[in-house]
Structure 1
Amino acid sequence: MEFLTLLRRGVAASAVAVALAPAARADSFDATVVAGHPPVFLWVKTLSETFIPAVNAALDGSGHSIEWMEAYGGTLAKVGGELEAIEDGLAQIGIVSSLFEPSLLSLQNVTYATPFGSPDVDIVFGTVDGMHNEIADMRGLWESHGMEYLGGGFGLEDYLLMTDFPVDSIADLQGRKINAPGPAVNWLKGTGAVGVSGNLTTYYNDIQTGVAEGVIVFPTAAAAAKLFEVAPYVTRTGFGAQYAGAIVAKKSWFDALPAEVRQAIRAGVEDFALAYRAGLEQRVVGAFAAMEAGDAKIGTLSPEARAQWAQALPDIAGDWARAQDEQGLAGTEVVNTYMQKLKDAGVVLPRDWTVE
């Protein structure tokens, strides 16, 4: 009798365990995903329309799920405030633009210190992404703020020059006032042009009122702002595509997730990268079509003129690298690694920024 009682209890316990097992595996995790820009920007649109669905699809059937709360366009963090929002635990994952964190994420801005690189977004974004796995300081900068670097490097397409006068060589820039964003002001040094710091909200009016006579800008922004109306001469200078940031997560939150969930998030990041780059290429084609329709005069700087411009610049990369080295960071290693990887990819550089 005692044996039968124990047997029944064992069977009952097994039945309860089987019944409860699915519930135990069916964990749901809350995640607020943040971006300072609104969804009209491609990286935010791709975060919402590709990354999140891809993670959900990867989790399908795993017994795990994520309840997403999307906070874009300044609802939780302003542009440049995403890192702090995740660091403070207000969000668990999101897009962080290293471009807007030149002090905290200095090494990630290597492309802005090495102008006239590659116009190929796949090469540029993929190279800087991969360098995070090779150079400890690059990943370390994120980790020093409690971030897990997930990848999905995104950025901006090949920068160009738009002016209200024709440009065939740097001689045409002598004495001209040119708007440029942040670090791109350095791309004008030694050319005879006068760099005028500005941003997308001021470019049109600055050129229209004579504060500036041109701007260094990327095509998709130029077309959207209709800069061709005030600066109809579009010169494809080949400044290069620029890495601007990636998807990161709060490390303590990410590390506590089950392996299947972490793997699903990484899979979503890979899908994000592919979709973003494909979408960017389509937008660039559309941008040039819009500028042509607006009677822009589009030309390309000759290889000789491009080389002359690149060689006229001071040692931007060397100065930047040494400044990083002095702070105990691998500035020289980052520049030299980036240069070598571009050359290995077959990129023809009008100036090799390798630091001696």
Structure 2
Amino acid sequence: MISRTLLAALLAVAAGSALSTRAEADSFTFRIGSGHPKGPAPYVTTMSDFFVTEVTRRAQEKGHAVTFIESYGGGIAGVSETLEAVQQGLLDFGGYCVCFEPSNLFLHNFPYFEPFGPQSSSKAIEAVRMVYDQNPWLSSVFEDQFGQELLGLGAWDNYHLGTKMAWAEVADLKGVKIGGAGPNLPWLEYAGAIPVQSSLPEGYMAMKTGVYDGWLMTPAGYNGFKYYEPSPYYTLIGFGAMPVVVLTANKATLARLPEDLRAIVEEVGREWEAGNGAAMDESQAKGLAALKENGAIITELPEATRAQWAQSLAEFPRTNAKDADSRGMPGTKVMTDYIAAAKAVGHVWPVEYTLD
């Protein structure tokens, strides 16, 4: 069911705005957007600074004039509307976290279902790309069900926990309301915290006003959205980097492009993916440094406690794999492949997840 926001925007488009149409023989206008803003969300920054810039430059070299209309931070579609916006053609290109599509893209959240995975974004993206290559079903879902092509994978850097109050023992979190994207909220079960479904743009005011008292978030995001102001205590837990961001293109848009321009779009999309890992690793380092500079109180969870936390979630991967299987998805296969892929890139799991 289309939202009011998207319906209004579609009507505006129908009234006069062209959707990625060919204005002249060699002139193209595209809309690209995300529900997250440029700056606080590093993947959006790379969409703008790399993908848009490189497609425009390379297209010009081939004699095509390309113009991008950029709309980030929910200008055209919010975080839970971008998949639909690309499907409807309201956006030609969209970047979004699959965490906000728990029904439509349930299994694509598999990195969330296996926490304490690769700590480096570059290693995590490398492992998840292996899984996508081994399981073409993951990419086909975008094409067959949602009319779009997957151009590249992005990630959130390593997840940790920010809170309003200091805490020393996991038991201190019992009853504390913690916000998160959705698929990561079950990580809190061991701590006895109260999970609250939310999104980054609304987190600051929600913590400021006491809707909840903490947030599961990466250093870059926590710093970029200034969460350190209402919740200055940031504990390094290492739930892992999460390659759950995608950049997609509307299939009808791509079909209208000349072959050389379509090749450029697809080529730059994969290069965007290849550069995202290093960009996110750098972002994490800068995020931690900035948090410290901005007054956040940073501590690190003892390794023994971290291992106990991981062990408490040992059933979580199996439960989600079986859930996906029951929906006709290759859940056990995908999640088993991810365990192996993470090991292949050098990750040592704190607990050996078994899915059979």
Alignment of 1:312-323 (within 5 A): 312-313=312-313, 315-323=315-323
Map of 1:265 onto structure 2: 265
Map of 1:62 onto structure 2: 62
Map of 2:123 onto structure 1: 123
Measured after TM superposition, the shift of residue 36 of structure 1 is 2.6
Q: Is the 8 A contact 1:191 1:312 kept in 2?
A: no
Write the letter of the residue equivalent to 2:222.
Answer: A
Q: CA 1:134–1:175 in structure 2 vs 1: closer, same or farther (change >3 Å)? A: same
Q: CA 1:288–1:72 in structure 2 vs 1: closer, same or farther (change >3 Å)? A: closer
Q: Is the 8 A contact 1:94 1:247 kept in 2?
A: yes
Instruction: Find out whether 1:108 has 2:108 as its counterpart.
Output: yes
Compute the TM-score of the two structures, normalised by the length of structure 2.
Answer: 0.82
CA distance in 1, matches of 2:80, 2:268: 23
Map of 1:324 onto structure 2: 324
Measured after TM superposition, the shift of residue 209 of structure 1 is 6.0
Alignment of 1:299-310 (within 5 A): 299-310=299-310
Map of 2:148 onto structure 1: 147
Map of 1:9 onto structure 2: none
Q: Deviations over 1:315-354 (max 9, x none)?
A: 2111111111111111111111111100111111112334
Q: Is the 8 A contact 1:82 1:95 kept in 2?
A: yes
Q: CA 1:78–1:339 in structure 2 vs 1: closer, same or farther (change >3 Å)? A: same
CA distance in 1, matches of 2:341, 2:106: 19
CA distance in 2, matches of 1:296, 1:63: 50
Map of 1:36 onto structure 2: 35
CA distance in 2, matches of 1:187, 1:36: 24
Measured after TM superposition, the shift of residue 270 of structure 1 is 3.3
CA distance in 2, matches of 1:270, 1:251: 17
Q: Is the 8 A contact 2:32 2:70 kept in 1?
A: yes
Measured after TM superposition, the shift of residue 251 of structure 1 is 1.9
Map of 1:6 onto structure 2: none
Larger Rg: 1
Measured after TM superposition, the shift of residue 63 of structure 1 is 3.4
Alignment of 1:1-356 (within 5 A): 27-40=26-39, 41-143=41-143, 144-151=145-152, 153-200=153-200, 203-204=203-204, 212-313=212-313, 315-356=315-356
Compute the TM-score of the two structures, normalised by the length of structure 1.
Answer: 0.82
Write the letter of the residue equivalent to 2:241.
Answer: A
Q: CA 1:135–1:38 in structure 2 vs 1: closer, same or farther (change >3 Å)? A: same
Map of 1:21 onto structure 2: none
SS of the equivalent of 1:78 reads: coil
Map of 2:16 onto structure 1: none
RMSD between superposed Cα atoms in Å: 2.7
Measured after TM superposition, the shift of residue 308 of structure 1 is 0.4
Write the letter of the residue equivalent to 1:321.
Answer: A
Q: Deviations over 1:36-64 (max 9, x none)?
A: 33333322222222112212333344334
Q: Is the 8 A contact 1:104 1:141 kept in 2?
A: no
Note the residue ranges of structure 1 that are not aligned, 5 or more in a row.
1-25
Measured after TM superposition, the shift of residue 65 of structure 1 is 4.1
Choose 115-124 or 297-306, whichever is displaced more: 297-306
Q: Is the 8 A contact 1:168 1:305 kept in 2?
A: no
Q: Deviations over 1:277-296 (max 9, x none)?
A: 44433332332223223443
Q: Deviations over 1:95-119 (max 9, x none)?
A: 2331211111122111111111111
The alignment of Structure 1 onto Structure 2 pairs a total of residues equal to: 331
Measured after TM superposition, the shift of residue 248 of structure 1 is 1.1
Measured after TM superposition, the shift of residue 160 of structure 1 is 0.7
Q: Is the 8 A contact 1:50 1:275 kept in 2?
A: no
Q: CA 1:63–1:125 in structure 2 vs 1: closer, same or farther (change >3 Å)? A: same
Q: CA 1:68–1:196 in structure 2 vs 1: closer, same or farther (change >3 Å)? A: closer
Write the letter of the residue equivalent to 1:36.
Answer: G
